[in-house]
Amino acid sequence: MLENPSSNLRHDPSLQISFPFQGRWVRKVFVRGLGVPRLQVYGVLRAIKSCLMPRQVRMRRQCAEEIAASGSVPLYCLEAWKRAGHRALRPAELGDLEPILTRCRTIRHDAEEERDLDSDRAKEFLHYVAVDQDFLAHPSLVRFALSEPILRAVSVYLGTVPVLASVALLWSPPETEGAKLKSSQRFHNDHEDTSQVKLFVHIDDVDSDCGVFTFHPAEATRRIRKALGTRRGRLDDVATAKVVPSEAPLTLMGPAGSAYFVDTSRCLHFGSRPAKKGRLLLQVQYLRCNSPAHSQLALGLDEKWAAEPWSSLQRMVLGLRDVDRAAFRQRS
């Protein structure tokens, strides 16, 4: 692996796939502004993108089918995951996480020393310790996000080999409890697509004092959205509880190294509410290449990074153009 790989990196766009257009503004105009049903708008956008990049869409779908046929992702696990929209990862899918946890803690420590914790302007409660291109300085974290067991599981769930859409190390600082809830501290869905996968890894122990990630499973979310409407962006706790009074939302808690898949498009969720203790979280987002409202890769690579010995599956997820389909079939 390259030493200090990001120091002289010059992104070469020709090495990676490009997306035909950005669909976010279309969603804002037609869904939010004019009230056109989101599924209709997304269906049109997906069809257009698929027509503009047919080889990518076809190849990724075929590869996901080959992975499913190989039996590397247990069928019982997949069916339950698709119903619920979430699942915990097994230790065998994660490997040795201790180096990953140590690296993430070091990154946060160094950022604090340099006072380089960027917060989203609308989210003082959420700091981006490292995001996307920053991770090229930490190859071990890139390799974790591209680990084969994780990519195989996500590919079968989505029915296509995804792209790595974003990677972020997030710090939710302690905040005075009782403060007014803002933005993503209220129930919402993510709208890049109708389905996606986010991988969450706890870098430290997480309990109820940490502003935990909280969500409703897919079926409860469907009923809530049917009752309250899909145009309402953020929902309060009282409104959702009235629809599903006997189904309390789930929380992601556990020791350092606990990891979870959540389909944040299908599951209403919130996180980083005011809490006594902070929370450090590694978040990796995987999306279909033809997702209607997203058109960028997490990592822009140069020739040295592209020349690394990535597998065919990893090359697809990185968005690299030169993928050996024959080699992929042999490994599947």
**DSSP codes joined into one string, 195-244:** S-EEEEEESS-B-TTS---EE--HHHHHHHHHHH-SS--SB-HHHHHHHS
Phi, psi of 139 (to 5 degrees): -55, -30
Strand arrangement of the beta sheet that strand 214-215 belongs to: 250-251, 214-215, 269-270
Q: Provide the whole-model pTM.
A: 0.93
How far, in whole angstroms, is CA 134 from its chain's centroid? 16
Q: Which two tokens stand for residue 185?
A: 């501290």
Q: How far apart are the first and last CA of the chain?
A: 25
Residue-level pLDDT at 267: 98
Give the containing element (helix H, strand E) for 13: none
Name the DSSP letter for residue 167: E
pLDDT in tens, the chain (332 residues): 454 555 567 788 899 999 887 777 777 788 777 888 888 889 999 999 999 999 999 999 999 999 999 988 887 788 999 999 999 998 888 999 999 999 999 999 999 877 666 555 446 889 999 999 999 999 999 999 999 999 999 999 999 999 999 999 999 999 876 678 888 999 999 999 999 999 999 999 999 999 999 999 999 999 999 999 866 778 999 999 999 999 999 999 999 999 999 999 999 999 999 999 999 999 999 999 999 988 889 999 999 999 999 999 999 999 999 887 666 665 65
Candidate CATH numbers 2.60.120.620, 3.40.50.300, 3.30.1550.10, 3.90.1150.10; the one for domain 13-331: 2.60.120.620
**27 contacts 292 by C-beta, under 8 angstroms:** yes
Residue-level pLDDT at 209: 94
What burial class does residue 151 get, using C-beta atoms within 10 Å of its C-beta: 0-12 exposed, 13-18 middle, 19+ buried?
buried
Residue-level pLDDT at 281: 97
Domain ranges of the chain: 13-331
Residue-level pLDDT at 121: 46
Helices (H), the chain: 24-26, 38-52, 54-70, 75-84, 91-94, 98-113, 139-145, 148-158, 218-228, 237-243, 303-306, 312-318, 325-331
**238 contacts 313 by C-beta, under 8 angstroms:** no
Spatial distance between the Cα atoms of 239 and 225, rounded to a whole number of angstroms: 11
